[in-house]
């Protein structure tokens, strides 16, 4: 069964829950497991909070999240008009560092890359477009 969702709202933390609910409702009606939906929720939170924090410093713009299922996959597209920011190019954190050495932060993009089955970034006519794809089955 195919299922879609779309939401467009100001890119502020207060809207995290509404954005998440739009996506999890669509994934749930498409038949994805609670565990896979948990993965989506995490990757989505990491992606949208990055937009909230960095896309439009001092002046939150809008964020648009669209999702759709099909062919055993679920894709989530996150679009914002903020400054260009490609999370796929960020270096991976050094996981061997101990508590004092570890920098605070820098794990969000890494979690997205580890959890989503495919992560794709494009800069399209002034928009950041990040697409996260999840297979029905858990990533090995």
Partner 1 sequence: MNIAAKKESNALVVTVSGRMDAVTAPEFEKSIAAFIAQGEKAFVINLSGLEYISSAGLRSILASAKRLKEQNGKIIFSGLQGHVKEVFAISGFQGIFKIYDSDAEGLKGI
Q: CA gyration radius for the chain? A: 15
- Determine, following the binding rule CB under 8 A, whether residue 35 of this chain makes contact with partner 1: yes
Angle at 16 between CA 113 and CA 78, to 5 degrees: 50
With contact defined as beta carbons under 8 Å apart, do 27 and 36 qualify? yes
Cβ at position 115, least distance to partner 1 in Å: 7
Binding to partner 1 by CB under 8 A, coded x per residue (else -) over 38-67, reads x--xx--xx--x--x---------------
SS3 readout for 92-103? CCCCCCCCCCCC
With contact defined as beta carbons under 8 Å apart, do 11 and 60 qualify? yes
Q: What residues from 89 to 128 belong to the interface with partner 1 (CB under 8 A)? A: 93, 95-100, 102, 104-105, 107-108, 110-111, 114-115
Size of the residue set binding partner 1 (CB under 8 A): 27
Residues forming contacts to partner 1 in the complex (CB under 8 A) are: 13, 16-17, 35, 38, 41-42, 45-46, 49, 52, 93, 95-100, 102, 104-105, 107-108, 110-111, 114-115
């Amino acid at each position: 069964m195919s299922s879609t969702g779309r939401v467009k709202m100001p890119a502020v933390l207060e809207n995290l829950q509404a954005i998440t609910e739009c996506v999890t409702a669509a994934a749930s009606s498409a038949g994805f497991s609670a565990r896979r939906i948990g993965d989506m929720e995490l990757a989505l939170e990491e992606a949208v909070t990055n937009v909230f924090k960095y896309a439009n410093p001092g002046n939150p713009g809008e964020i648009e999240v669209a999702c759709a299922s099909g062919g055993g996959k679920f894709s989530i597209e996150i679009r914002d008009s903020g400054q260009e920011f490609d999370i796929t190019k960020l270096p991976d954190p050094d996981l061997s560092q101990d508590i004092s050495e570890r920098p605070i932060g820098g794990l969000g993009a890494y979690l997205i890359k580890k959890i989503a089955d495919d992560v794709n970034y494009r800069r399209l006519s002034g928009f950041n477009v990040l697409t996260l794809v999840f297979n029905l089955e858990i990533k090995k």
